[in-house]
Amino acid sequence: MMRSVFLIGPMGSGKTAVGRQLARRLGLPFADSDAEIESRTGVDIAYIFEREGETGFRIRERDVIDALTKTEGIVLATGGGAILLPENRERLAARGTVVFLDTTIDQQLQRTRRSKHRPLLAAADRRAKLEELALARDPLYRSIAAITIRTDGRAPGAVAGDIARALKGS
């Protein structure tokens, strides 16, 4: 059985799109922690943030990541902030191969410009918010990544191909 592959990285790095392609390529089921949270609660992430704040959301996210990372042989796309809690970082690193999808702020701005479902981007200055998030999160992504792949200007299928090749070599 192949080890699970966990995709981490900032919003707009392509975790869901790349994850779907990678799962297809590896013949594994695909899961998305944000989609799983929405499915379990019956409401969208923005609503959870609105009602419970980021803290309430992170608790739900922690529980979902704990459950999903116990599943053998899946490709999991996590939310951008999943790495904030130490227990999530420990579980991700211990239970599968962690792939960091690295991207620039410019690429994030371009990929998230139409999104209305990203509560952390409700800020007036989206670039400043993304830079602030990157400063806090980038070292955490790098601390648990077994593989780092740059996704800027690349199609999800090409990125998935790079990951599949890297996994064979690891």
Q: Which of 40, 103, 33 is nearest to 75 (CA)?
A: 33
**What is the rounded average pLDDT for all residues in the chain?**
92
Tell me which of 62 and 111 has the higher pLDDT: 62
Q: How many residues does the chain have?
A: 170
Q: Which of 3, 38, 45, 44 is nearest to 22 (CA)?
A: 3
At residue 150, the 3 state secondary structure works out as strand
DSSP state of 107: H
Give per-residue burial for 130-169: e unless 16+ CB within 10 Å, then b: beebbeebeebbeebbbbebebeebebeebbbbbeeebee
Q: Which of 57, 21, 55 is nearest to 40 (CA)?
A: 57
Model confidence at 118, in pLDDT bands (50, 70, 90)?
low
**pTM higher than 0.85 for the full model?**
yes
Domains, in order of start, for the chain? 4-165 (3.40.50.300)
Distance between CA atoms of residues 92 and 76, nearest Å: 10
Tell me which of 100 and 130 has the higher pLDDT: 100
C-alpha separations of 24 from 27, 52, 98, 99 in Å: 5, 35, 18, 16
Distance between CA atoms of residues 95 and 56, nearest Å: 24
pLDDT, tens digit, 9 for 90 and up, residues 40-81: 999 998 899 899 998 999 999 999 999 999 999 999 999 999
